[in-house]
Structure 1
Amino acid sequence: MNFKRILILGFVFLSTTIITAQQDVCVSSSSSDDLLMELNTIDKCLHDKESAEKEMPKPRTKRYLRTRRNSYYYKLRKNLSAINSTKNKAPKKEVKARDVYLGEVTEQPVLLVSGNNANYKGNLKDVLNNYINDNLVYPESLKERGVEGIVWTSFIIDANGGVKNIVALGPINGELLEAEATRIIKGLPKFKPGKIDNELVNVKHLMAINFEIGK
């Protein structure tokens, strides 16, 4: 009988040591004399604890790779991203339109300038003449040599409001006059495009620019 009691006490001590090592202690409410009740209490406590641990969700951890900002791979990835974003940008679509002369349009192109300058409103021919007179620069070297003349120009005000296909033809030895005429037409502000019955069109225009000393 004493041997059986010692065996039970040893088993209780061993169970208590294991529980303490796990840093979780199960406490029984029974007295020290009732050894069978003590073992049942400890066993139930351990069972409840194991069930609670199984039910507790494990915290999720995010794994990510840290890359040094000055590393080769960081710079390479950044450059590739920039290239891809540039490729994905939709190119600006040009309006395709037919070519017509100024006399054919139902709505003339309108020069888009800031302010309320009356000289830049109304008939397109008058507007262009006023703009050129205000911005023309007579080449000094030609003034000294007394070179004058008319430069005939042709250009297109396209359906996107820009100017293209500029051609300039001036007098003999008037290359500088042609260059100045080309410069001023190329520097024209944007236009509101011309139309024929609400259809955007490219408007061809012919214009003479007069270079006259003392004008």
Structure 2
Amino acid sequence: MILKRILILSFSILSSLTLFAQEDLCTSPSSGDDLLMELNAISKCHVEEKKEVVLPKRNRYLRVRNNSYYANLRKSIRTLKKSMKEPAKEVITKEIYLGEATKEPVLLLADKKNRGGLKETLKSYINDNLVYPASLKDKNIEGIVWSSFVIDANGGVKNIVTLGPIGGKLFEEEASRLIKSLPKFTPGELDGERVNVKHLMAIKFEMSK
């Protein structure tokens, strides 16, 4: 009985020593001369090391579809910002009457012969170019058309208004035609600044013409 116990104890000790020897063999580092021995002994190792699998890194990109909710929202915001931009401020030119101008407009006649100031030049131009309506002339009808117009800062004519006598529509039409046919002006000025100059003028239709 005692012998049996001694044999069992000896076998246990021997098995433990063998196991430790194999574990040391599997975990020992490799060197030049012992490499062949470890390769031969590696089959005795029952413990397999787990290899860590390293997956290649992939770049991840966020793909946004053009028709997605957020894309449409950003587009709407950009459109709203553009519409909210302040409109360009309109440059407003001063408007004065002829008597207020420090430099009167000058009518640029084709013959370059201005007849004094603006009023005298306009009167001469009208007398030279007025066409008396034939139907009114035949009936010996006379009249005066009161007119107003603006000589703008570019030398053009605008805002023409005519008011003739009752039944004098033909007179008004001729007066309007005359004013529209005026040549270019040199703009009027106020203290060195170009301005719009408003002028009032009476155009007379008389049989003596």
Which of the five TM-score ranges fits, normalised by the shorter chain? Answer: 0.5 to 0.7
Q: Deviation per CA, 1:54-84, whole angstroms, max 9, x where unpaired?
A: xxxxxxxxxxxxxxxxxxxxxxxxxxxxxxx
Partner of 2:185: 191
2:106 aligns with one of 110, 133, 148: 110
> Structure 2: which amino acid aligns with 1:135?
N
CA distance in 1, matches of 2:175, 2:153: 23
Partner of 1:180: 174
Partner of 1:129: 123
2:149 aligns with one of 141, 144, 155: 155
CA distance in 2, matches of 1:121, 1:193: 17
- CA drift at 1:185: 0.3
Residues 153 and 206, structure 1, Cα contact 8 Å, conserved in 2: yes
Partner of 1:100: 96
Is residue 2:141 matched to residue 1:143?
Answer: no
The structure that has the greater radius of gyration is 2
Structure 2 CA distance for partners of 1:151 and 1:113, relative to 1, 3 Å = same
Give TM-score scaled by structure 2 length. Answer: 0.55
**4+ residue runs over 6 A deviation:** none
Partner of 1:28: none
CA distance in 2, matches of 1:115, 1:148: 30
Q: Which ranges of structure 2 fall in alignment gaps of 5 or more residues?
A: 1-89
CA distance in 1, matches of 2:157, 2:195: 13
> Structure 2: which amino acid aligns with 1:110?
V
RMSD (Å) for aligned C-alpha atoms: 1.5
Residues 97 and 159, structure 1, Cα contact 8 Å, conserved in 2: yes
CA distance in 2, matches of 1:214, 1:115: 26
Aligned to 2:120, what secondary structure does the other structure show?
helix
Residues 115 and 124, structure 2, Cα contact 8 Å, conserved in 1: no
Residues 147 and 200, structure 2, Cα contact 8 Å, conserved in 1: yes
- CA drift at 1:135: 0.3
CA distance in 2, matches of 1:95, 1:190: 22
- CA drift at 1:192: 0.4
- CA drift at 1:146: 1.8
Partner of 1:29: none
Aligned to 1:179, what secondary structure does the other structure show?
helix
CA distance in 2, matches of 1:95, 1:128: 29
Q: What percent identity do the matched residue pairs reach?
A: 64
